[in-house]
Structure 1
Amino acid sequence: MNGRDSKEDKEEHEQVMSEVHLGCPPGIFGPHISRFTICLPSGVESSRFNGLFKDQEPCTDQNISFDEDGDLVLPRRRQISRRCFTMKIQHNITSSIPSVGLQVWKAELVLSDFVLHKICTSMEFHGIVSLELGAGTGLAGMLLALAARTVFLTDHGDKILENCLKNVQLNYGVLKHRNVIYVRELDWTHPWPPKDSSDHASQERFTWSSFELEEVQKASLLLAADVIYSDYLTDALFGILERIMSQGSEKVLYLALEKRYNFSLDDLDIVANGYSKFRSYTKEDSECEGLEPGSLPCFMGRCIDIAEIPQYVGGYDRGKDVELWEIRYNKDTALMPC
């Protein structure tokens, strides 16, 4: 057994848990359905989804405090009414590393907030075709489908794809009368576009038809969340991004990630090597100013200040290690880490 096989075997048996699932019922190892409440933040007015956002029952907001003598202070109660809707997401509480797509991660929720803010405050995502890479549970892509014409939710492995499709079905009440969502297999190590399986006598459930391949080639928006955790997968990700983004009209990728720190024997320090690998493929726009076109990196990125994005999805803490990047591809250069 070589080193790579040993590492993959270890990852297959090692269990990890997303912080999003803290507080879920203990002892649950199979699929669990959580309800995520989506609310319009204060200061955001949107009339585009009047049939979707409904007035929530007013709740009482009362802070408990004490005066300097230790006596209870009872402030006047304030009634808070919010406009909300609910998404049901089937997920695992824990998973092996190769199956992390069965869980919900903070970066996916930040990306969901970003998508919701865009569709509630602009027409930028209205009527577009979009492709999500490593969609996992599918939450961000499903929310995008409230405005986009067509959304392709892609991932690798039957368990993750079946779970993603189940989530589309669970949210039919929210998504009905909306536009088309496809759940499809996409292996980043294979050529792009995927093979046309429409002529096969026995089609697998998540293969692509010729019509879908024509439609996905029109995608102008790419999404990805929490796909940066393995150097091998990061290489594969930027490989397929180069193939997708170099074809057709200009495309933009919005990628949310969480920095994960570990102690490195090589560095004798606590470092985020996965994040460093990601940054080796990208340069911020400001770093490219004044350079000759031929010397620009393949992928030019801009880190978005997520503090400026209101929180639509309730029940999670963003923390300080989640970032959201806008990434574009420069066709003038060949694919190589910067």
Structure 2
Amino acid sequence: MAELSIPSNSGDLEEHEQVMSEVHLGCPPGLSGPHISKFTISLPPQGAESIRQGEAVSTQQNIELDEDGDLVVKRRNRQSNRSCCLIIQHNITSSIPNVGLQVWRAELILSDFVLHKIHTSSEFEGIVSLELGAGTGMVGIILACVAKRVFITDHGDEILDNCANNVHLNSEMFNHQASVYVRGLNWKNSWPPTMDSESSETQKRFSWTASEVEEVQGASLLLAADVIYSDDLTDAFFNTLERLMSQGSEKVLYLALEKRYNFSLDDLDVVANGYLRFQSYLRDAEECESLEHEPLPRFVGKPIDLTQIPQYVREYNRGNDIEIWQIKYVRRKSQSQTL
């Protein structure tokens, strides 16, 4: 499958220049406006609770005998895996500032990761979560099947409106205790976000309340997909991460990204500069110990083994350049003592 190449310095592109996600390849590029796609999700034959109980499920079955007293052996149901559909409104193409209107492969593979967690553990049940740069909102929508609170965030009136529509289209999937909020979050601004008199009606609609900001401080899970493609946005993203992860409860981030390669005149080679910028923020545990007294942000990251994550969402090709990273923030002792 062909790859979409977004330069690491996306400011070089005109805002009106249109790009297309590799997920949409094959669609007529001239189509304008939002479109509805149904993404099929294959589910395991048993729900998460049955999987966790393991063989305890079979031990509760009743033993049946026929008229001659012989044991009746029930054959296993050989039906194919259960499936459901996720309804997503999206654009086929968009400008660089509005790439959140499209569906991207990193978003789909992070959806696979969340689905796998849901069906193999109780880790995400009843939690408070924040998704950064959510785009169409697919990952947060899936998480709302088990989570208590899900804050789905992005920047831009059109993206927020589209995301809210997707939340509405899929609301029947949510568990009965779930609350899902679509909120505006510009990484280049301060946290917590504030409103001003010049804010648009859409921005006011997706503004934060004081109680919501306080609840996010107590969140345990952060999610992000395909937010690493521009160096200035990567810097702003990690600045926001530091503000979020250095306060309140301890948090873990799962970030899915695609390594995009471009020819660099400086290096005279094809390199993934955006990926290198991302990795420059990460440390290993031992390195963080040596930086204990330095005032630099200290993010510890490790990649997830994707061979252990089944593909639940059918309509995409993973390829070889998608990764998911688990990222934690190591607080300085002075920070931990004041929290």
Is the alpha carbon distance of 1:178 and 1:290 closer, same or farther for their aligned partners in structure 2, counting shifts above 3 Å? closer
User: RMSD in angstroms over aligned alpha carbons?
Assistant: 2.6
List runs of 5+ in structure 2 lacking aligned partners.
Answer: 1-8, 52-77, 335-339
1:184 correspondence with 2:187: no
Is the alpha carbon distance of 1:275 and 1:19 closer, same or farther for their aligned partners in structure 2, counting shifts above 3 Å? same
Which residue of structure 1 aligns with residue 22 of structure 2?
19
TM-score between the two structures when normalised by the length of structure 2: 0.81
In the TM superposition, 1:110-121 aligns within 5 A as: 110-121=109-120
Which residue of structure 1 aligns with residue 38 of structure 2?
35
1:46 correspondence with 2:66: no
Is the alpha carbon distance of 1:193 and 1:297 closer, same or farther for their aligned partners in structure 2, counting shifts above 3 Å? closer
- Is the Cα–Cα contact under 8 Å of residues 259 and 272 in structure 1 kept in the other structure? yes
2:274 match: secondary structure: helix
- Is the Cα–Cα contact under 8 Å of residues 35 and 91 in structure 2 kept in the other structure? yes
Is the alpha carbon distance of 1:242 and 1:297 closer, same or farther for their aligned partners in structure 2, counting shifts above 3 Å? closer
Distance 1:171 1:147 in 2: 14
Which contiguous aligned blocks of 4+ residues in structure 1 show a shift greater than 6 angstroms? Answer: none
Which residue of structure 2 aligns with residue 162 of structure 1?
161
Is the alpha carbon distance of 1:9 and 1:246 closer, same or farther for their aligned partners in structure 2, counting shifts above 3 Å? same
Distance 2:43 2:28 in 1: 28
1:239 match: secondary structure: helix
1:218-246 Cα shifts (integer Å, max 9, x gaps): 11110000000000000000001011100
Higher relative contact order (CA 8 A, sep 6+): 2
Distance 2:109 2:269 in 1: 28
In the TM superposition, 1:125-136 aligns within 5 A as: 125-136=124-135
- Is the Cα–Cα contact under 8 Å of residues 282 and 297 in structure 1 kept in the other structure? no
In the TM superposition, 1:50-65 aligns within 5 A as: none
Larger strand percent: 1
Opposite residue 47 of structure 2, the aligned amino acid is S
Is the alpha carbon distance of 1:148 and 1:320 closer, same or farther for their aligned partners in structure 2, counting shifts above 3 Å? same
Is the alpha carbon distance of 1:264 and 1:147 closer, same or farther for their aligned partners in structure 2, counting shifts above 3 Å? same
Distance 1:141 1:157 in 2: 18
Distance 1:49 1:102 in 2: 37
Distance 2:214 2:29 in 1: 45
Opposite residue 28 of structure 1, the aligned amino acid is L
Distance 1:47 1:188 in 2: 35
Which residue of structure 1 aligns with residue 150 of structure 2?
151
> How many angstroms does 1:40 deviate by?
1.9
Which residue of structure 2 aligns with residue 172 of structure 1?
171
Which residue of structure 2 aligns with residue 76 of structure 1?
none
- Is the Cα–Cα contact under 8 Å of residues 20 and 316 in structure 1 kept in the other structure? yes
1:318 correspondence with 2:318: yes
In the TM superposition, 1:77-88 aligns within 5 A as: 81-88=80-87
TM-score between the two structures when normalised by the length of structure 1: 0.81
2:205 match: secondary structure: coil
Is the alpha carbon distance of 1:121 and 1:140 closer, same or farther for their aligned partners in structure 2, counting shifts above 3 Å? same
1:240 correspondence with 2:240: yes
Deviates more, 1:104-113 or 1:10-19: 10-19
Distance 1:35 1:175 in 2: 17
Distance 1:48 1:14 in 2: 48
1:12 match: secondary structure: coil
User: What percent identity do the matched residue pairs reach?
Assistant: 63
Opposite residue 187 of structure 1, the aligned amino acid is N
> How many angstroms does 1:320 deviate by?
0.3
Which residue of structure 1 aligns with residue 138 of structure 2?
139
> How many angstroms does 1:9 deviate by?
7.5
Distance 1:157 1:173 in 2: 26
List runs of 5+ in structure 1 lacking aligned partners.
Answer: 1-5, 51-78
Is the alpha carbon distance of 1:9 and 1:46 closer, same or farther for their aligned partners in structure 2, counting shifts above 3 Å? same
> How many angstroms does 1:119 deviate by?
1.2
- Is the Cα–Cα contact under 8 Å of residues 242 and 297 in structure 2 kept in the other structure? no
Distance 1:8 1:293 in 2: 36
1:28-51 Cα shifts (integer Å, max 9, x gaps): 12111100011125xx7425499x
> How many angstroms does 1:331 deviate by?
1.3
2:236 match: secondary structure: helix
Opposite residue 15 of structure 2, the aligned amino acid is E
Is the alpha carbon distance of 1:170 and 1:292 closer, same or farther for their aligned partners in structure 2, counting shifts above 3 Å? closer
Aligned residues: 295
Distance 2:223 2:26 in 1: 28
